[in-house]
Structure 1
Amino acid sequence: MEPSHRKFHHPYEPYSIQLEFMQKLYKCIEDGNVSILESPTGTGKSLSLICAALTWLRDDERRRLFGDAQQNGKSLDWLEQAARRIQTEQLLETRKEMEEKLKTIRLKTVKEQNKHERAKRVKIDDIVQEDDLALDDYESDDGRSKATSSDHEFSLSTLALLEQLKPTKAIEGDEEVEDRTKVIFCSRTHSQLAQFVNELRKINLPSAVSDVDDDEEVIKHISLGSRKNLCINPKVSKLVSTTAINERCLELQKPGISQDHKCEFLPSQRFNEDKERLDSFKDNAIAQVQDIEDIASLGRRMKLCPYYASRSTIPVAEVLTLPYPLLLQKSARQALGVIVKDNVVIVDEAHNLTSAIADTMSVSMPLSHLELAHKQLMGYCQKFKNRLKGKNRVYIAQIIRLLKACISQLQAHANMTTDTTLPMNNLILNAGVDQIQPHKLVKYIQESKLVYKVEGYAVLLDQSSANSTSVSQKQLQPKGVLAEFQNLMIALMNPSPEGRFFILRGDRELVLKYSLLDPQAHFEDIVREARAVILAGGTMSPMSDYSDQLFPYLESAKLKTYSFGHIIDKDNVLVKPLAKGRSGIEFDFTWQNRQSRSMVLELATVIEKLCMVTPDGMVVFFPSYDYLAFVASIWRSGNNSPFSKISSHKKPFEESKDVNVDDLLRDYANTIAKGKGALMLAVVGGKLSEGINFSDRLGRVVICVGLPYPNIKSAEWKAKVEYIERTKYLRCREEGLSEAECKSRAQAAGREYADNATMRAVNQSIGRAIRHKNDYAAIFLVDKRYATPRIQAKLPTWLKDSMCSGQESWQETENNCAQFFASKV
């Protein structure tokens, strides 16, 4: 199938690289492939994603509705053609009626928005009583429904309720609800999704059920979120932890709860009783493109829970937007009613997808939180000891023993000087908890609502003590600690090769952490089910990690990678590796040599000279906060310090872990706006290296000092590299390669992973400067390793195309930089 529109209905005149991007994406979806697309920030990536995907979506629907007179190579007879024609005409009529209804809703909504209506506040009364927090008798102990890594986040009762509240495809007396093919779009945060929604509002598409291009059809879109994002009941949303919110929500729905205590916003569990309200919500939700806050506001206006009601819109929606975790967790997808099968999945900002998967499935808990969880659970047991019987008593005792085992392990490592791996057996065997079965404990916690009960009792105690405690005596305590521990227990159920437990040295105390090492298993089911999967980002290079870690099972023909150029002219970017300084000192910022005082002073001289020829703002990225602080301390020393020389040309600003980024950026920008030069010292992987624009005058020069390789002595890093090497070794052995060859390839895979992780962070940082077509900047890569083909090969295409070839003297570099900026005046 070829695109129906040459420009993919782009609202502006697309650049050539945007057209190429959209053509590749369209073909990927049509062919059912997995594609990784890199398009630099500032090239209109979001609009290109939307236009290509939605053009294919409408083209595909038109193809399926109208089709050809050929189906599977066989001509349709006149009866089949007539039946198809009648079906299409009926659908067209239904769609026209829907569009007219949605148009009326849009006009009404605009009028209502102009009235500045205020949502009615719901009074929070004292509905949580002490007796409500006692555990019900728990008898389920047959172990027949073991939780697995794909379904453990929600209890069986939760899933049953959600299934009951989902609109069925066949409702008595109604026609079947149409379930359209969808584009499922996800990004890291709701704020990023809100930006995507703003771009989505710019698109006008012709109707899929009409041959007339002027017949537009509104894009049917719904923003999905968790209860934490969408709950409008203040009795529930005021709770701190997500687990407590989920469990309190379900508690208010129990059959035995009095009508006064039930959630007044929840649709009736008998769907037909609330069909009219849900249909109204659905129509209002899809009448125009709305973000997650709009959906929550709609629920408040209609006094209808948007978390549950939003799933009534899913069958008719064309585009779903949701954050990473709701896509990556199978149980979350099932609970929301999101079906990946045969739909198109687009992951934006996918440069950190593997780490996002690991973060979603990893969990950590500091010692103080473990101790507080133990204290809260012991206090709860003391209060309700006469009402804890049978399985409740058995399982709570096991949870307490497991908590004590974790605490004792951290206490035993109180004097450790480096992070360490903690074998899972040490946790299980310690304190005699080897008979504990984690899957039964997790099931018990979910079914009994233990987290909500214990946290609810802790809140009651806090409220009672608050009245008798002065403000100066009050101490802020962490919330949701038992929910944190529940997540740790879930991690105990994961297959041991997938991840490891670690004891880490935190800022103030030791931390117990479970870290996922293998992201493949948690993304493979999405790839297997979806029609096509698109990973897109401004900085995806280097890309070999994705094929090695996420898609090793795919045939090469099913995985396509593309790195597109920039919309700016090549002459607007100057990229130079600097292997030596002005006086010939070699720049070698490896771990062994980066403390060299002479090299650090040489770096200061280079930056001072570049400050003299660079207008406006300059940004220098260092490998870490510690190294930036080390360099800055040397530059500040002495009477005629390097800092004083640099300050005579540009006012320096310095990022640190505790700095307020908003204030720092404001002062930096204000200095430049006043016509003074400014120098920002930042950190790769820090707050200023991602999501911050140093466009135009804010970043005329970007310098990257050294390569920010992770700490190779870190226990987590060692475990990750060992896992990669071991996996590569086993694959090579399966291919029948020799022992020596397998070991060689395994070591090469470990080095490749380290290089890729490092260069992806570098690419993300140096891409901060060029943000639009007319922008320009010079980029200097300060380290002799940047001059090697191995490292240069991992730069994005648009940077490699602007890379200066050959070694130049410092004077030539300085002259070229001056000429570059002189030509832009």
Structure 2
Amino acid sequence: MEPSQASFCHPYQPYDIQLEFMAHLYRCIEDKKVGIFESPTGTGKSLSLICGALTWLRDNERRALDSTLPAEGDDDQDDWLARAESAVRRRELLLAREELEQKLAALREEEARLKQKRFDSRSMKKARTTEGNAQEQPWNDDEFMVEDYNSDEEEMATAQRASTGFSNSTQALLDRLQKPTKEDVEQPEIQRLKIIYCSRTHSQLTQFVNELRRVKPPSSIPSGVELAPGQDLEEGIKHLALGSRKNLCINPNVARLSSTAAINERCLELQKPGTAKEKKCPYLPSKDDRDRVESFRNKAIAQIRDIEDLSHVGKRMDLCPYYASRAAIASAEVLTLPYPLLLQKSAREALGVSVKDDVVIIDEAHNLTDAIADTFSIALRLSQLDQAVQQVTAYASRFKNRLKGKNRVYVTQVIRLLISLTDCLRGVAEKSRTGEVIVTATQLMSGKGVDQIRPHKLLRYLHESKLCHKVESYTDVQKGAEDSNQGRGVLMPFQNFLSVLMNPDDEGRFFVDRQNSDILVRYTLLDPREHFRAIVEEARAVILAGGTMSPMSDYSNYLFPYLEKNRLETFSFGHVIPASHLFAQPVVNGPSNTEFDFTFENRGSERTVLELGNLLCRTCKVVPDGVVVFFPSYEYLAQVVAVWQRLPPARPLMKSLNENKVTFQESKGVSVDELLRDYASAIDSGKGALLLSVVGGKLSEGINFSDKLGRAVIAVGLPFPNANGAEWKAKMKHVEGLRYQQCKREAILPQGQWLAEAKKASRDYYENACMRSVNQSIGRVIRHRNDYAAILMVDRRFATERIRQKLPGWIQGNIGRGVQCWDDIERGLVNFFHTKS
């Protein structure tokens, strides 16, 4: 082990499980593997990810620089040119590194001085605004006309450069040696290998950035090499936060638009060749902005900044941070970005991000499969489609004499396809009055003349012509400013929907359902593996990390089935707390010995509901401070509370609960912030509090019930999704098909067992989805080494080995064998909290 790995640059003295985590992470990256890491929240997972990955990154860079030295004793005269070139290359790399570090150090000093002197007036410039206002200018038809479109052939694209007569290898060498020109304002020549860190939201990424600021990784400069003699030059972490235009746009006329799609389209429209200079975005970097872009790059990576900080840098420089940040990508060591920007190839390409040979870390990865499905799923309402038909028809009527050639053909195709979709939805809804119905792409495209449409060509036309944006802009002007948001943004969802119409039938399904007075068509991705495969195959290593990744079998079976077994590794780490700080127990019977069976058929029993109320009353008497209860759904929680409010008649259970602790209830219309504030206030007052919440609700993920806020968490029943719904039927059938084909292909079982094995696989998949939700909920408590709490899982099924083995390892190891009666569990609770007082 190298010296830099001894503590992995951890800012504190790491716990043993943190050292184990970082060591396994380092080895996974070194060996180019896919790793799944489960480490309970509260164990310093984020810091472990940062320290393990950054230590490897700096070690790798140092080894790469060392490798440029000729081997000792290598005096082969025939290789003198290669050795000389290596020495020159090494010197160039070190000089470039020194120059960059000196610039960044100077910028840090400058920012520190400005902050100390508080010269806000010098650091904050007024945002430059465009001359005039587009809404105040008279409009003319030319603004909304699509340009002539005469070619369909993607294969006939013009060559980027003429043939030079050189061989491919010679031309590649010349390209590599060619000095950058003025036009090369986007990226420096050398791309650093980097860590690409991804999470669900920008707020979670900001938390990661705050942790990143604590870390000082080892130097990447080989020992014996001096940077800037006489100076103590710090090799800071070069971090860059990436976001969408919606996050980074500083043009007020664009940023205020109603949707992300509208912002994207308007931004591209302002860059179009031929656009008058006064109408172009004034913040967009130009070919003459090389020095300003380089300055932005240096300021972006000189400090560890989150997405808001990066936006402020752009505003101070009057330079678009969305585009200018691309210049910093090559020099960055760590990139942070939300799920959608990583998962979509088009988004990565738009940002200029490549995962080739980089390390991809996805945090909160228990959501990954759902995130992939959400990213590539889309829904349309019939009311939207009807508006789209009206808008495109009005546009075609207004410009019918000016639409020629391919433009006329494709606008007609858009109208035909929209009408086909609306007719199909009305027909399906008429035949089926209740529930979801599965339809096919063929049904959706069965309208008159649609069989002559080639969807991929139509989609390409929509992208290149910006027709949807043109039509919507024309519609806005026709309606007037007061109605500009009415019907806005209905064509871009249609354009996105067109792309999923071309997906293979076995990847997803289309569902039609009634919602209030509208009809909804929804495409749901069932098979996420191919949409993530390119990342896995291009990246050096992929790390999935989360507090509750169990059960893990779904990842190997349905996300990475194509990986060789020796390339995928899974790790489940324990908690930082001692075993005596956790009391975990399944509860099969209540105080009156009534069995807890919260299956859908039996959970409505008033006897069971009252038994649950009695259990909570007795639990609240022995558990201090805060108790959090998670129910399978909002509907069932409301049903249970209704029973407690009226039974038993002499003394309703709700009254008894409130006497023990102040009771709060999560509901869809209640503000979570206010609810948590009142809950915490009741606990601080000494009264104690009981919080009734829902698995999959706003309190089941991302909320920390540490210390007094969560001395006990109680899971009521198993929140299985509706297996009779069309979507889950389709998912389970899809899993059955995958497993059946695997059995057939690998002949791992006799043919007579293939169907039974397929059914078992779909049941496992169904249970795993349920248990991931449970594990997320009960993982809300115990957030640091000195914390302690009880976890009660109320349902007879929690005592079965099948369900128990799907719990996180740190909880499984704390549960005793055998079923305990309630009296024994209650005594255990009393003793547990007595030792903590």
2:797 aligns to what? 785
Q: How does 1:739-778 map to 2 (within 5 A)?
A: 739-778=751-790
1:135 aligns to what? 145
Q: How does 1:610-629 map to 2 (within 5 A)?
A: 610-629=619-638
Shift of 1:257: 1.2
1:422 aligns to what? 439
| Paired residue type of 1:672 | I
Greater CA deviation, 488-497 or 247-256?
A: 247-256
1:200 aligns to what? 212
Shift of 1:215: 5.8
CA distance in 2, matches of 1:21, 1:131: 62
Q: Secondary structure at the match of 1:184?
A: strand
1:696 aligns to what? 707
2:249 aligns to what? 231
**Deviation string for 1:329-351 (max 9, x for gaps)?**
11221221111111111111100
Among 313, 325, 341, the alignment partner of 2:356 is: 341
CA distance in 1, matches of 2:542, 2:73: 31
2:670 aligns to what? 659
1:107 aligns to what? 109
| Paired residue type of 1:321 | T
Among 392, 403, 408, the alignment partner of 2:418 is: 403
1:121 aligns to what? 127
Shift of 1:392: 2.5
Mapped contact 1:169–1:176 kept (Cα < 8 A): no
Shift of 1:552: 0.4
1:439 aligns to what? 456
Q: Secondary structure at the match of 2:277?
A: coil
2:598 aligns to what? 589
Shift of 1:382: 3.8
Q: Residues 456 and 112 (structure 1 numbering): CA distance in 2 closer, same or farther, change over 3 Å?
A: farther
Shift of 1:298: 1.1
Q: Residues 451 and 110 (structure 1 numbering): CA distance in 2 closer, same or farther, change over 3 Å?
A: farther
| Paired residue type of 1:285 | A
Q: Residues 666 and 237 (structure 1 numbering): CA distance in 2 closer, same or farther, change over 3 Å?
A: same
Mapped contact 2:744–2:754 kept (Cα < 8 A): yes
Q: Secondary structure at the match of 1:680?
A: strand
Q: How does 1:711-750 map to 2 (within 5 A)?
A: 711-736=722-747, 737-750=749-762
Among 90, 93, 110, the alignment partner of 1:91 is: 93
Q: Secondary structure at the match of 1:29?
A: helix
Mapped contact 1:10–1:203 kept (Cα < 8 A): yes
Q: Secondary structure at the match of 2:790?
A: strand
Mapped contact 1:3–1:56 kept (Cα < 8 A): no
CA distance in 2, matches of 1:732, 1:76: 58
The reply to whether residue 504 of structure 1 matches residue 525 of structure 2 is no
Mapped contact 1:620–1:705 kept (Cα < 8 A): yes
Q: How does 1:508-519 map to 2 (within 5 A)?
A: 509-519=518-528
Give the alignment's TM-score, normalised by structure 2: 0.91
Q: Residues 140 and 39 (structure 1 numbering): CA distance in 2 closer, same or farther, change over 3 Å?
A: farther
CA distance in 1, matches of 2:532, 2:835: 49
Mapped contact 2:622–2:830 kept (Cα < 8 A): yes
Mapped contact 1:92–1:210 kept (Cα < 8 A): no
Shift of 1:430: 3.5
Shift of 1:243: 2.5
Mapped contact 2:798–2:804 kept (Cα < 8 A): yes
The reply to whether residue 680 of structure 1 matches residue 691 of structure 2 is yes
Task: Return 5+ residue gaps in structure 1 as ranges.
Answer: 148-166, 467-474
Greater CA deviation, 498-507 or 356-365?
A: 498-507
The reply to whether residue 251 of structure 1 matches residue 266 of structure 2 is no
Q: Residues 478 and 587 (structure 1 numbering): CA distance in 2 closer, same or farther, change over 3 Å?
A: farther
Q: How does 1:464-543 map to 2 (within 5 A)?
A: 464-465=481-482, 477=486, 479-506=488-515, 509-543=518-552
CA distance in 1, matches of 2:224, 2:601: 69
CA distance in 1, matches of 2:701, 2:579: 23
Greater CA deviation, 614-623 or 386-395?
A: 386-395
Greater CA deviation, 199-208 or 87-96?
A: 87-96
CA distance in 2, matches of 1:730, 1:761: 29
Q: Residues 503 and 645 (structure 1 numbering): CA distance in 2 closer, same or farther, change over 3 Å?
A: same
Mapped contact 1:122–1:234 kept (Cα < 8 A): no
Shift of 1:510: 2.6
1:262 aligns to what? 280
CA distance in 1, matches of 2:463, 2:83: 54
Moved over 6 A (4+): 68-71, 173-176
Mapped contact 1:689–1:764 kept (Cα < 8 A): yes
Among 321, 335, 345, the alignment partner of 2:336 is: 321
Q: Residues 192 and 479 (structure 1 numbering): CA distance in 2 closer, same or farther, change over 3 Å?
A: farther
1:152 aligns to what? none
Mapped contact 1:206–1:215 kept (Cα < 8 A): no
2:717 aligns to what? 706
| Paired residue type of 2:268 | L
CA distance in 2, matches of 1:631, 1:25: 45
CA distance in 1, matches of 2:274, 2:570: 56
CA distance in 1, matches of 2:179, 2:363: 34
1:372 aligns to what? 387
| Paired residue type of 2:331 | V
Greater CA deviation, 228-237 or 509-518?
A: 228-237
Q: Residues 508 and 35 (structure 1 numbering): CA distance in 2 closer, same or farther, change over 3 Å?
A: farther
Task: Return 5+ residue gaps in structure 2 as ranges.
Answer: 158-175, 226-231
Greater CA deviation, 636-645 or 747-756?
A: 636-645
Mapped contact 1:243–1:452 kept (Cα < 8 A): no
1:150 aligns to what? none
| Paired residue type of 1:776 | Y
Q: Secondary structure at the match of 2:383?
A: helix
CA distance in 2, matches of 1:574, 1:423: 51
1:164 aligns to what? none
Greater CA deviation, 62-71 or 186-195?
A: 62-71
Q: Secondary structure at the match of 1:387?
A: coil
Shift of 1:812: 1.2
Mapped contact 1:500–1:516 kept (Cα < 8 A): yes
The reply to whether residue 452 of structure 1 matches residue 464 of structure 2 is no
Greater CA deviation, 363-372 or 526-535?
A: 363-372
Shift of 1:636: 1.1
| Paired residue type of 1:679 | L
CA distance in 1, matches of 2:515, 2:717: 26
Shift of 1:508: 5.4
Q: Residues 572 and 168 (structure 1 numbering): CA distance in 2 closer, same or farther, change over 3 Å?
A: farther
Q: Secondary structure at the match of 1:577?
A: strand
Shift of 1:141: 4.4
Shift of 1:372: 2.5
CA distance in 1, matches of 2:150, 2:238: 43
| Paired residue type of 1:375 | Q
2:65 aligns to what? 65
Mapped contact 1:224–1:321 kept (Cα < 8 A): yes
**Deviation string for 1:134-167 (max 9, x for gaps)?**
22244244243699xxxxxxxxxxxxxxxxxxx9
| Paired residue type of 1:116 | D
2:172 aligns to what? none
Shift of 1:485: 1.2
CA distance in 1, matches of 2:780, 2:461: 48
Give the alignment's TM-score, normalised by structure 1: 0.92
